Amino acid sequence: MKAGIVGASGYLGAELLRLLAVHPDLEVTTIQANSSAGESLSSLYPGLTGGYGRSEVSSFDLSALIACDVVFIAVPSGASQQIVPQLVGKVPLVVDLGADFRLRDPRLYEKWYGFVHQEPELLAKSVYGLVEQNRDALKGASFIAAPGCYVTAASIVLAPAVQQGLIHPEGIIIDAASGTSGAGKEPLASTHHSLVNENFVAYGVTTHRHTPEIEQATGSKVLFTPHLLPITRGILATIYVKPTERLTTESVLTFYREVYEGEPFIEVTDGLPATRETYGSNNVRIGARYDDRTGTLILLSALDNLTKGGAGQALQAANVALGLDETAGLPKVALLP
C-alpha cells in the first residue's frame, strides 16, 4: 500500500517516516512539506538516510496524495482544515495528526485554539484515533483524527475509571510534564536551550488547548496543568482523583490489568512509570497508588509524546482502519539506556 505524508519536515512527520521505514505493508511514495520543498530528506534528517536515501521533499501535490492508499497530515493547528477537505472521499484513508478534527463542538475551536472552524460538517465524519478506546469504530474508517499527546496520557488511565464508575468524574487534577519536542520544530523563545536547561516550568495554566479534548475523551471535568521538562521526548502524567469507594493500590492495578489485558502497547507496572521506560516506543506505562489517609487515588502514566503521543498513535489507528497487523511498524521496546 502507498502512503503519503504532508508536513514531513516537522518532528511528527519525521517520526512517521522513521516508523514507516520498517513497516511491512506501507511504502512512502510522497514526502511533502512546503517549508522544505526541494531539500533532500537526508539533509533535513540525516538519521533517516538509511530508510530513504536522498529522497526529495516536495511541495504540496494533491495528485500525488490522491494516488495513495493512506495520507498522514502532520501540520500545525488550523492548517489541516485547509487540506483535509481536498482528500476525504478521494483517498481511502486520511489520518490527521493535528487538532482540527478532534473536537465535536466547533465552537470550542475559537475558545481554545483561537480560530473559527471552516469545515464544521467534517467534524462528525472523523473517527477519534485512540485505538484502545475506539478500536471497533476505527475498523474500516476513512478519516481519523489522531488524539493529542497529553490527552492520550490522561485518557488511557481516566477513561476506563470514569466509565466503570471507579472514580468521581469531577474534581480531577492532572499535572503532566512533557519534553520540548512537544512544542514542534519551529524555534520558540520559551523552548530555547538556555531557558529550558536546568529549569522546570508550568505553562498554559487553565488555558491549555488539550483540556476540552481530555474532557471529551474521558467524560470528566478536569483541571489540567502542563509543565515543560528539560528533556527531548516523553510525557509523565500524575493525576489525582477521588474514588467512589475505598480501594487499595493492588485492587486498582488489578483493575487496569483486566481492562487492558491483551493490549499490545499498554503496560501496567507495580512500580512508578518513568518517561525513559517508553523512549522511542509506542507503549504507555501505567502505575497507581491509593492514599488511604486522604482517600485519594493517584494515577500515573508515561509515554513518548512523538510515538504513542503522536506518530505511533496515528500509525496504530491506520493499521486498524486498513485491516493490517495493529502492531506493524511500531516498536514495543524502549531505547536503552
Q: How far apart are CA 82 and CA 101, in angstroms?
A: 12
What is the rounded average pLDDT of the residues 259-281?
98
**Cell matching residue 196:** 529550558
Give the 3-state DSSP-derived string for 182-250, with helices as H, strands as E and coil as C: HHCCCCCHHHCHHHHCCCCEECCCCCCCCHHHHHHHHCCCEEEEEEECCCCCCEEEEEEECECCCCCHH
Q: Sorting pLDDT into bands at 50, 70 and 90, what band is 190?
A: confident
- Is the pTM above the cut of 0.85? yes
Q: How far apart are CA 141 and CA 238, in angstroms?
A: 33
Q: How far apart are CA 163 and CA 96, in angstroms?
A: 27
Strand partners, 223: 173
* pLDDT (0 to 100) of residue 188: 78
Looking at 5, 95, 149, 315, which residue is catalytic? 149
3-state SS assignment for residue 277:
helix
Tell me the residue ranges of DSSP E strands in 18-87. Answer: 27-32, 70-73
Task: Render pLDDT for 166-185 as a digit per residue (tens, 0 to 9).
Answer: 999 999 999 999 999 988 87
Question: End-to-end CA distance of the chain, in Å?
Answer: 35
* pLDDT (0 to 100) of residue 25: 98
Residue 68 annotated as catalytic? no
* pLDDT (0 to 100) of residue 8: 96
Domains and their CATH numbers in the chain: 2-147+308-322 (3.40.50.720), 149-304 (3.30.360.10)
* pLDDT (0 to 100) of residue 308: 98
For residue 321, count CB atoms less than 10 angstroms from its CB and return exposed for 0-12, middle for 13-18, buried for 19 or more: buried
Report the interhelical angle of 249-259 vs 149-163 (nearest 10°). Answer: 100
